[in-house]
Chains A and B, each alone.
Chain A
Amino acid sequence: MLLLGDDALLLLRDAALIAGKDLRVELRSRVTINQVAPFAVLVLVLFAFALEPDRGLLTRAAAGLFWLAVTFSALLAIQRSFAIESADGARDGLRLSGLDPAGIFLGKAAAVAVELLALEGLLGVGVVVLYDADLQGATLLLATCLAATAGLAAAGTVYGVLAAGVRVRETLLPLLLLPIVAPVVLAATRASEAALGQAATDGWPWVRLLGVFAVIYVAVGALAFGPLLEDA
């Protein structure tokens, strides 16, 4: 902490305040628990129904299906994150608060990331039970989840605020975000395949790629969130 300046500490304080608020709203509303989590599990189950005749294919595709389910759930979590700011002028209240926009971005992205990590834990169990996946590289899988989640949350928060100001935001966000996070889905799938022993390749270069994506979008979000929030 001593290495951080006053500005950085204030930024972290603002981020913690926003993340705490968003997570508290989610705990009280239970939208993630009652709607997003069942949706994510349902996606896994439907994939299982669709590929059931070929059990081997289902197991081989487990990593990709897992990350598709996570990506679809991320869309819902991000839309929810900005929906709570659109009710009864809350977004104006957020702007009036005087919080650092970079702190608001980091806080909202962190809250989305926490929700996604919890969902990934649930979906991980689902993949093992439904798809017969065999975990061989726990460290690699953990690093993949952390890096991919950071990238999804950061990019999602940038495009979430971009879409927040328009009336068709529910349909616009997937159109904006899915092409952008395609590299995350690809890299996370390859790294997860390695962690599940389904590919003979090294998964760590893919994790590094995920890390680079996350760093880029955290930096872009910290710089761009302020102007985007003003225009939303």
Chain B
Amino acid sequence: MTPAVRLSRAVVLLGRFPALAGADLLVERGEIVHLSGPNGAGKSTLLRACAGLLPVVEGEAEVLGHDLRRERRRLRRSVGLLGHASFLYDELTVLDNLRFAVRAAGAPTSTVEPALARLGLDGRLADVAVARLSAGQRRRTSLAVLVARQPELWLLDEPHAGLDAAGRDLVDDLVRGAAAEGATVLFASHELDRASALAGRQLTVIGGQVHDTQPFASPPATAPSPAFTSAP
């Protein structure tokens, strides 16, 4: 089986700026991998590129067996991205948004109700327009879309942001559950304590390159060297 993610010297441009500057990355299927790194290092760009939203202009890049330079659109139905934006329609209700996303992805609509219940959005909240939700409830709705779509690859950008303590625990449970069912999870988070308990492996993104990382408790004293990382 092909790896979930395989990047080799991948370059992604934002305008003329190389947000990914020769990134190497290997993530095996079923792994939970944490991406750390300072703001502007390229974590979000890496996740968006893996989702097929940004073109890889140089190097090799394959996600779930799809070449990111040629088959980005085919990949997208198999990938779920939780980004800084909610990707939701404000005028539609929580239920409408989920139904639309699930139908668009070609997933069975029977997953919608359980996903709403899992995220605590069932009952009255399901019929509320997204525009009237709190930031945390919007985040839960975006997560519910992911749960209902059942993607093979979960790409989560700061998944704990904007959630209360119960919500953060729920995110951790969802990630573990997804991995237990065979999905691969790649997430960026500044919450190192949670990430260390959740991830099987941590990588650091610096200057648009992916590096092997020292254990969570002792961050590298010097700049880490580039590495073509692989699962243990």
Contact = CB atoms under 8 A, between A and B. Distances in A.
Interface residues of B, number: 27
B91 A84 contact: yes
Contacts, number: 68
B76 A98 contact: yes
A24 B92 contact: yes
Which of the listed residues B77, B91, B129 has the most CB atoms from chain A within 10 Å of its own CB? B91
Contacts of B74: 98
Nearest to B86: A88
Interface stretch (B97-105, B111-119, B224-232): B97-105
Contacts of B191: none
Which of the listed residues B73, B86, B89, B129 has the most CB atoms from chain A within 10 Å of its own CB? B89
Nearest to B90: A87
A34 interface: no
A98 B91 contact: no
A92 B44 CA distance: 14
B73 A88 contact: no
Interface residues of A, number: 21
A89 B83 contact: yes
Contacts of A97: 76-77, 101, 104-105
Interface string A1-35: 00000000000001001000100110011000000
Interface in A96-110: 96-99, 101
A73 B79 CA distance: 38
Given A96-B81, A97-B101, A90 B89 contact: yes
Given A92-B53, A95-B76, A98-B73, A17 B89 contact: no
A90 B91 CA distance: 12
A78 B223 CA distance: 51
Contacts of A179: none
Contact of B96 (A24, A29, A92, A93): A24
Given A88-B85, A95-B76, A96-B81, A28 B91 contact: yes
Contacts of B81: 92, 96
Contacts of B100: 17, 21
